[in-house]
Amino acid sequence: NRRIVLAARPRGVPAPTDFRLEQGPVPAPQEGQVLLRTEWLSLDPYMRNLMEEVGPGYADPMPLGATMVGGTVSRIVESRHPRFKAGELVVANAGWQDYGISDGSDLMPAGDLEQPSLALGGLGMPGFTAYVGLLDIGEPKPGETVVIGAATGAVGAVAGQIAKLKGARVVGIAGGPDKCRYAVEELGFDACLDHRDPQFAQRLAAACADGIDVYVESIGGAVFDAVHPLLNLNARVPVCGFIAHYNEKTATGPDRLPGWMATLLAKRIRMQGFIILDHYATRFDAFRRDMLAWHAAGKVKLREDIVDGLENAPAAFIGLQQGRNFGKLVVRVAGE
Ligand code: NDP
């Protein structure tokens, strides 16, 4: 069993030496457990936060030497659990390793998908994040302007396409001309701006001539600085994440908080953070039903960025921190 463990707590963007590939025996399931073979591993921004101690309310940090956590699509190879059979494909949390053990409590059927890894992307956790963040917190109305950060990523691409389905005008923000072109030409966004463009703030203002009604926040930093002066009265800001700060936690430059607080108050803005794990019991079934239908009808396109081989997961994860992924980042660990 190959596994990738947390070798050191990163300082800034993770380095290859923060990870270590180890070999060990394939674990044996006890009574009530299943043995899982990882076929697909999901790489997600939240894992960066678990690599070190980040404030309260979030998940516990991974201990040094522990297997990196991660969602997987896994094949049950041996079952000593009454509810599961060998051969079944499930969504699991086996982490960055070839084999894992589960007591079944965290397993969901992967469904009968032509591309099983979609259960880790648009049809799974990130797509669900887009659905809850946009619809339940953002509440877009036809004709409103919705702005989406990390627009071609796992969450952003889905959020933007759902906003279009709901009749909103959608402006994306992405890193580089290729991603921006893709957002407009393939995903159907009305516009997409490159956040690395020196004229970004002016171009965003021009693209949002009627202001911004919903901003799906994933980035923070300079992008948020450009967005917040454009927010309209009663705007909604679902806070999915703030990836620009995951690797640099110390603020630099002047204190911009008073300016933001003034906008928040005067514009009666509703800004709401959320953690998607809280919503599975109440909203996952509705999401799955809607998303499967939209995807089957070609109304929501799901792009994946597939990396081959568990040993390549650290480099791919480091790339995710720098925008090198183009679409939902998944690792093919085994299988075709
Ligand atoms: P993505 O597939 O969007 O990949 C991350 C993207 O973030 C990169 O491709 C890059 O896109 C952008 N990015 C990375 N670093 C920076 C930076 N310094 N400045 C600006 N942009 C940057 O990831 P996900 O869709 O999986 O996640 C998107 C966000 O949603 C994250 O903030 C994540 O933490 C959050 N999230 C929150 C959940 C919750 O429960 N609240 C659940 C799932 C995700 P580009 O090249 O376009 O800049």
Confidence tier at 112 by pLDDT (50, 70, 90): confident
- Output the CA 16–ligand 1 centroid distance in Å: 20
Domain with CATH 3.40.50.720 in the chain: 125-276
ipTM reported for the complex surpasses 0.95:
yes
Report the pLDDT averaged over residues 256-279.
Answer: 95
Helix residue ranges per DSSP H, the chain: 46-50, 125-131, 154-165, 177-185, 200-207, 221-227, 257-266, 280-296, 313-320
Q: ∠ at Cα 231 (226, 236), nearest 5°?
A: 120
Return the CATH number of the domain spanning residue range 2-121+303-332.
Answer: 3.90.180.10
- Output the CA 243–ligand 1 centroid distance in Å: 6
Domain with CATH 3.90.180.10 in the chain: 2-121+303-332
Residues 6+ apart with CB under 8 A from 185: none
What is the rounded distance in angstroms from the CA atom of residue 172 to the CA atom of residue 215? 10
Give yes or no for residue 129 CB within 6 A of ligand 1.
yes
- Output the CA 300–ligand 1 centroid distance in Å: 19
Position with higher pLDDT, 60 vs 115: 115
Cα–Cα distances in angstroms (integers) from residue 182 to residues 86, 105, 190, 278, 325, in the given order: 40, 39, 11, 32, 14
Q: Residue 38 pairs with which residues in a beta bridge?
A: 74
In 3D space, the residue among 223, 217, 221 whose CA is nearest the CA of residue 197 turns out to be 223
Q: What pLDDT does residue 254 have?
A: 85
What are the structure tokens assigned to 133, written together?
Answer: 């963040």
Q: Say how many Å lie between the first and final Cα of the chain, rounded.
A: 19
Is 96 within 8 Å of 6 (Cβ atoms)? no
For residue range 229-256, list pLDDT tens digits in order.
999 999 999 999 999 988 887 767 888 8
Give yes or no for residue 238 CB within 6 A of ligand 1.
no
Give yes or no for residue 43 CB within 6 A of ligand 1.
no
Give yes or no for residue 155 CB within 6 A of ligand 1.
yes
Domain 125-276 has CATH 3.30.390.50: no
For residue range 159-171, list pLDDT tens digits in order.
999 999 999 999 9
Share of the chain above pLDDT 70, in %: 98
Whether the full predicted model's pTM is greater than 0.80, yes or no, is yes
Q: What pLDDT does residue 59 have?
A: 74
Confidence tier at 71 by pLDDT (50, 70, 90): very high
